[in-house]
Amino acid sequence: MKASSPPCRFDQLDAFLAGELSAAQVEQLEQHLDACPFCDEELTRRTADESFWEDTKTFLSSADGLASDHDTDNHPLPTMPDQNRFNASGQDTPLGQLSFLDPTDDPHRLGRFGGYEISGIIGQGGMGVVMKGWDVSLDRFVAIKVLNPAYAGHSAARQRFAREAQAAAAILHDNVIAIYGVDHWKEMPYLVMPYIKGESLQQRIDRTAPLSLENILEISLQIARGLAAAHDQGLIHRDIKPANILMPASVSRVIITDFGLARTADDASLTRSGVLAGTPQYMSPEQAKGESIDGRTDLFSLGSVMYTMACGRPPFRAETPYGVLRKITDQPHRPLSQLREDLPPWLETIVDRLLQKDPSERFDDAHQLADYLADYLAHLRQPTTTLLPKIEAPTKRLRPAIPLVVTFTSLLLVGGWFAIDRFAARNRNAPPSVLDPNETSVPPRASDANPSPSAPSPAHLEWEFDATPLDQLETELDLLLKETVADPFADPSPTSE
């Protein structure tokens, strides 16, 4: 008889996402997820998937159909939230989830939050809600991201929330969301960001995919520049996906948002066992394996975003998140040329380079990628005056090889010095040679006790140093160093072009 699986416990899912489960507990949870589709779906919903923060719903949505910039100006709402009512922006979020708001005298508002008048819901997810608020003191609309009261006492959730604010505030770039401020109200942390009309890249893809070649390059170039600015600050986003790319309606600009998973490159918790951070469809292989990561993990995610813009779907798909992760780590993606014949081969080359399983086979950094994308975009717009760029082979990182060469050289020099010194000492202490019987023994003179340095050495103490072995070692070392610098990771087997 098959043993029944343990009962569903959502608190275990929260502990798993916070990294508080032991290895045995993680293994038990994975077994339960394999047998319980309900918990598997709930975990997917909570792990920054498409529904997280619901950016694809109305975040930065345009005000089409509304009389003014206010989400609820012509749709008065009750002052006290009603569990059976829905907000005026057309979302399926019950107003009861906003019970933490203070009442307001304005019938066109949902309520008050701190010093802000809340006029609508931008997005919501399992851990919180993003609201549209009116800053009374500065007379402007803002986006307010509030941590769910249920998670306000959860240390891991609060740390992630604070980390998002710190990460985004450290980057000053046109393609990265700005942070106006961070504060607490009623024991709930929140951060204030610009409110920008428009749509997310996911909404654009859902509406118009596949995107044109020029749009793909324009959007990808700006994302790469934003990532370069973040990486220059030592930050890795770890959750680049279309829903986290905002596109203002009034300008041709894209903005990277949601730095909730961002970490510094030397953060030890990046490799904590059993914890996966990111959206499965856009996660890098090293993220899926729980290995150490650097900025190139964001480049893999950007490659998946470019693939999605070109085809309307991610490069890796499966029925479950674990199935997606398995494909990301073990299987190649389907070439773009098989899905869109109108795309040039060089775009497929860029995407293939970004989606390499080995980070060293991708572009060196976001700056290099941005330079290539800018050159290709310029060639696309002015093909007669701008040459088609040529992508160089990936540069191997030589840091693991150089210390070995330096260590070998040091040992060789020290060993050679000791050998020479020992040989000289042996000759100095050698016994006198047997005298020739034909020679007459002459007692040494007193002046011979301390011979002058210029006096010739006796025959049995004369020696000549042979540097031939050391010269051969130096030549071999020089050849080894040149081969290592050229390509320390190259496959020695010949490859056909």
Give 197's Cβ-side CA count (13 Å radius): 12
3-state helix, strand, coil in the chain (%, to 5): 45, 10, 45
Locate 189 and state its tokens: 């942390």
3-state secondary structure 119-142: EEEEEEECCEEEEEEEECCCCEEE
Exposure letters 275-302 (e unless 16+ CB within 10 A, then b): bbbbbbbbbbbbbbeeeebbbbbbbbbb
Collapsing DSSP to helix, strand or coil, 374 comes out as helix
Give 2's Cβ-side CA count (13 Å radius): 4
Alpha-carbon span 354 to 305, nearest angstrom: 10
**Are 302 and 240 spatial neighbours (Cβ–Cβ below 8 Å)?**
yes
Judged on CB neighbours under 10 Å (0-12, 13-18, 19+), 165 is buried
CA distances to 121, 222, 276, 291, 470 from 269, in Å: 33, 29, 11, 11, 48
Residue 239 known to be catalytic? yes
The residue from 71, 239, 298, 365 that is catalytic is 239
Instruction: Work out the number of other CB atoms within 10 angstroms of the CB of residue 259.
Output: 26
Which amino acid would we find at residue 90? G
Give the H or E element holding residue 143: strand 140-147
Closest CA to 100 of 10, 195, 192, 189: 189
Alpha-carbon span 317 to 319, nearest angstrom: 7
Collapsing DSSP to helix, strand or coil, 168 comes out as helix
Q: Which residues are catalytic?
A: 239
